[in-house]
Structure 1
Amino acid sequence: MDIGTLRGIGTLIVFLAFIGLFAWAYSGKRKASFGEAARLPFADDDPEPRP
C-alpha cells in the first residue's frame, strides 16, 4: 500500500462521514428537535410589550 492508496481511503471515509452527517441533519425525524433548538434564543422574551 502506498501513500496514494491511503489518501484515497481517507478521502472515501471523510466523504462517507459527510454524507452521513448530511442525511442525519436533513432527516424528517430531527425536524422537531431542530425547530425547538431554533426557538431557544426567544424563550426568555416577554410576550407582552412593556409600557
Structure 2
Amino acid sequence: MVSGIVTTILLLLFVGGWIWAWSPRRKRDFDEAARLPLDEGEDRR
C-alpha cells in the first residue's frame, strides 16, 4: 500500500518536472544556458 502511494507521488513529481521543463516559458532560459559554454566572456582560470 505504502509503496503504491510513494510510486504515485514520484510519478506525479516526474510528470510535473517534465511539464515544467518543456514549458514554452522556459525555452529562453534553457537556450541561454545552452550557449554558456560557447560565450567568450572573461577568462575563468
| Length-normalised TM-score, structure 1 | 0.77
Q: Which has the higher contact order (CA 8 A, sep 6+)?
A: 2
Query: Larger radius of gyration, structure 1 or 2?
Result: 1
RMSD: 1.1
Identity %: 46
Q: How many residues align?
A: 41
Displacement of 1:35 = 0.2
Unaligned runs of 5+ in 2: none
TM-score, normalization by structure 2? 0.87
